[in-house]
Amino acid sequence: MATVQWRPEVNALTTPQSWRPRHVPRNVVNEDGLAAEIAQMLPNYSEDAARSIIDALIERIKANLISGNQITLRNFLTCRISLSGRLNSPDDPLPPVEESLSVQVTASRPCVEEICRNVELERLPMSKKLPLITKAEDTVLKLQDVLNPNGVLRLRGSDQVFDPADQDCGCVLEGTRGGRRAQSRYTAVFNSEVTILPDIPPQNDPWNNEYILSVSTQYTEHGTVRTGVYERKLRTPLTVTKLGHPNPPEVGILTGNAAAPYVKITGGTLSADETVRIQAVLDLHEGSLSFNLLDMSEGGKAGAAVKVTGNGPITLAGFSGSALTSLNLSVNNFADLVKMIRSGYSGRLVDVLVVKVA
């Protein structure tokens, strides 16, 4: 039986100094992992069917909470709305909902007792210090998780400092389908911030624009090299040429490390060169994707969304004021695109497109 692992960590709030136990998860199991386990447990259900049931359960729990109901799953969990805030009189209005409302999830006593009866704890050594990257942003486009060859990549986090002259330390960019390059052009290296003029390794095909970022450092002269990996993937902009021509070259987009693109741009209407974004958002309940075009600022202008449920051609309308009035796409591998967005991009995948008339 697998054990529940924990390690001691310093409790900074006590004097004299004390330590407290910290649970260390072995893994993070998402909907796909649960669906695979259910399909193995109940052979009459496929993984897709199990995943659909899980997605439906999540949606119904949220819908019931929105309707003001409490959810109680026998011998398992209770989900309820909780309100907080100070009112100077009974007639005072509540503070804004985002400040006063929270959702509480509580395990039932039988659930906790069953886990306690069956669990086995395993003590681990005290944790090692590692570089932590909490945010990666291109300072030119002012967008997160974009790896711009003409920009400056800023990494926010902690314990990131390293000696740029040490060949064993520094930042590395690695393509998910090939290519690895240690970075050498740093403009700042601090514990909380590292800025880089990125040197991006090429990958096998133009649509393979997905990269993994890591930082390695050595905290003491004779210490071991320790590496922290950014939990999100970076993506480089993709260039689309001759979009005003009758038969423009097809360009693969919205793909990971696949040998063939999941989606292709097949044409469009463009009056002037422009840089835009395209996004695909997964509806967990329906299993569908919504595609639309965006401007270059988060929360900015957006074109109308088009719902997609399988392979085939679609046309996206541009947003207000855009030189790109329409973009023709062909979805070639809907199933793998959904799987990638679900497991690797938290339900939303965005590519930057540099679209050109010539």
Q: Which two tokens stand for residue 125?
A: 């050594």
Q: What is the bridge-based pairing of β-strands 324-331 and 263-270?
A: antiparallel
Range 132-235 classified under CATH 2.70.50.70: yes
Pairwise CA distance, residues 289 & 338, whole Å: 8
pLDDT tops 90 at residue 2? no
Pairwise CA distance, residues 112 & 235, whole Å: 42
- CA 256 to mean position of chain CA atoms: 13
pLDDT tops 80 at residue 192? yes
pLDDT number for residue 128: 75
Q: Which two tokens stand for residue 232?
A: 């999100």
pLDDT tops 80 at residue 164? yes
**Assigned CATH class of 4-84+99-123:** few secondary structures
* Model pLDDT for residues 207-260, shown as the tens digit of each residue: 999 999 999 999 988 889 999 999 999 999 999 999 988 899 999 999 999 999
Band the pLDDT of 285: cuts 50, 70, 90. Answer: confident
pLDDT tops 90 at residue 184? yes
Helix (H/G/I), strand (E/B), else coil: 336: helix
Tell me phi and psi for residue 233, to 5 degrees: -90, 145
pLDDT number for residue 12: 65
Q: What is the bridge-based pairing of β-strands 238-240 and 4-11?
A: unpaired
Judge contact between 209 and 236, C-beta under 8 A: yes
Pairwise CA distance, residues 357 & 108, whole Å: 62
Pairwise CA distance, residues 247 & 268, whole Å: 10
16: preceding bond cis by omega (within 30 degrees): yes
pLDDT tops 70 at residue 287? yes
Question: Whose structure tokens read 């040490």?
Answer: 166
Judge contact between 241 and 279, C-beta under 8 A: no
Pairwise CA distance, residues 358 & 355, whole Å: 9
90: preceding bond cis by omega (within 30 degrees): no
Pairwise CA distance, residues 203 & 211, whole Å: 10
* Model pLDDT for residues 10-61, shown as the tens digit of each residue: 776 677 778 889 898 988 899 999 999 999 999 999 999 999 999 999 999 9
Judge contact between 294 and 309, C-beta under 8 A: no
Q: What is the bridge-based pairing of β-strands 18-23 and 71-73?
A: unpaired
Segment 102-129 mean pLDDT = 92
Segment 316-343 mean pLDDT = 97
pLDDT tops 70 at residue 200? yes
pLDDT tops 70 at residue 66? yes
Same-fold call for 4-84+99-123 versus 132-235: no
Q: How is the chain split into domains, by residue range?
A: 4-84+99-123, 132-235, 238-355
Segment 116-123 mean pLDDT = 95
